[in-house]
Amino acid sequence: MIDLGKEFKRMAEEFEISDKEVLSSVRTMIRSMWSESVFKLEFLKRNSELIVNENLRSKKRYPMVRRYKCAICGEMFGSTEIELDHIESENTLTSYEHINDFMTNIVLTSPDKLQVLCKDKKSKKLGVTRFGCHNIKTFSERYGVDFDTARAEKEAKQLVDKKLDKAYLQEHQLPVSSTQSARRATIVEHKLSLLKEKDDECI
């Protein structure tokens, strides 16, 4: 097997291009290769289903629509609302030694290492984002927290950033602390308790 790292390092030296620029270009090149991959398209096709279109505006023209089931939340989404996730997705490419593994993990993958996940959706009215499972999973892996904690942390941070944290706390009759960090922590704790209650109801 060709040592891609060694070859790109050689090219960087011969073309007199910085390592940082070359690695960034290779990273983009590999991800672009995957985005156009026939294997990716085939996986998405096999992991979708045609269902009856319930949209009154378009159901006459398109009586059936293709939908994809999120592997985490189990809800159905359209093609623009999902992302194809590499289950072991924290792939690093910061040195030439990483290139072979990065290429293998991203492009030379297998169906059992892939899954469909929903992505973020922004509300037109409030400008608040409904965080998708893909974004939450990435946060969970990056910061070493469980999925529910990742969701609660992201939602709490959004409320603080949009200055909606105090209103949220007042609405749920929770103490409104004087510092953002304390208010955020209270919101995280509250959201986790709601998720736990929901899980208990399902048991």
Confidence band for 198, pLDDT divided at 50, 70 and 90 = confident
Q: Is the dihedral of CA 116, 120, 122, 126 positive or negative?
A: positive
The whole-number pLDDT of residue 149 equals 97
Report residue 159 as tokens: 């409320």
Task: Classify strands 76-77 and 64-69 as parallel, antiparallel or unpaired.
Answer: antiparallel
Confidence band for 65, pLDDT divided at 50, 70 and 90 = very high
Residue 71 has pLDDT above 90, yes or no: yes
Residue 91 has pLDDT above 80, yes or no: no
CA-CA distances (angstroms) from residue 177 to 30, 49, 171?
Answer: 47, 48, 14
Count helices and strands in the chain by DSSP H and E runs: 8, 7
What pTM does this model have? 0.84
pLDDT digits (tens, 9 = 90+) for 172-181: 999 999 999 9
Q: Show Cβ contacts of residue 8 under 8 Å, excluding neighbours closer than 6 positions.
A: 22, 23, 26, 96, 99
Q: Show Cβ contacts of residue 89 under 8 Å, excluding neighbours closer than 6 positions.
A: 137, 138, 141
The answer to whether residues 164 and 156 touch, using CB atoms and an 8 Å cutoff, is no
Give CA–CA dist 197/194, Å, rounded.
5
The whole-number pLDDT of residue 178 equals 94
Which stretch of 52-61, 69-78, 182-191 has the lowest confidence by average pLDDT?
A: 52-61
Residue 89 has pLDDT above 90, yes or no: no
pLDDT digits (tens, 9 = 90+) for 100-129: 999 999 999 999 999 999 999 988 767 789
The answer to whether residues 138 and 132 touch, using CB atoms and an 8 Å cutoff, is no
Residue 203 has pLDDT above 60, yes or no: no
State mean pLDDT over 136-144: 94
Confidence band for 200, pLDDT divided at 50, 70 and 90 = low
At 192, the amino acid letter reads L
The whole-number pLDDT of residue 127 equals 78
Where do the DSSP E strands lie in the chain? Answer: 48-52, 64-69, 76-77, 82-86, 114-118, 121-122, 129-130
